[in-house]
Amino acid sequence: MVNKIKIDKIDQKILALLQTNARTPLKHLASKVFLSSPAVSSRIERLEKRGVISGYHAAINSSALDYHIKAFVNLALNPKEKEAFFAYIEDCPNVTECHCITGHCSMLMKVLFKTTDDLDIFVNHLQKFGETETQIIFSTPIEPRGILSMYAGVDDVKKSAIS
C-alpha cells in the first residue's frame, strides 16, 4: 500500500511555483510564501526526501532541434514479446514516454522524429511486437503542465511566477 503524503498550502504553493519554473531563486520562493529562505529550503529538501519532488528538468523545444514530427503510437503487445519489447524500447531515444495502458492496445508511446519517413521505419520495427496504431500530433494547445491545476490558488501562482 502506498503511503499518502500530506502537504500543506505552503508546500502546495512552493510546488506550483517550482513546476512553473524549477530555477526560481529560493529568495523569490520565500517571498511568495512568506517564509525565510532557510525555511523554504528545508521544505523543498523534505519534499525531495519524501519523493514528492522526483527531479528537476529542462523543457526542450523539440522543433528547435529539428524534431518536427510528434506522435502517439499505440501497440497491442503480444504478451510473449513483452521482455524483448522492453529491451528494444529502452534503447530507442526517440521514445520520450512509454506507458502500459488498458484497452485494446497495451502500450502507449510518445515519440519524436525529424521526418515521417523516420517515424514509418520505427513503426515498422514495432510491428514485430504486435499491432500498431499511430496518431501524428498537429498541435499542442496545452503543453505538459504538471499538476499545477490541482492546487488551490493556481491563478495566484501563475501571476506571481510572471512577476
Residue pLDDT tens, the chain, 163 long: 446 778 899 999 999 999 989 999 999 999 999 999 999 999 999 999 999 999 998 889 999 999 999 999 999 999 999 999 999 999 999 999 999 999 999 999 999 999 999 999 999 999 999 999 999 999 999 888 777 655 545 455 455 444 4
C-alpha 60, offset from chain centre: 12
88 phi and psi angles, rounded to 5 deg: -65, -50
Q: What is the pTM of this model?
A: 0.78
Local structure of 68: helix, strand or coil? coil
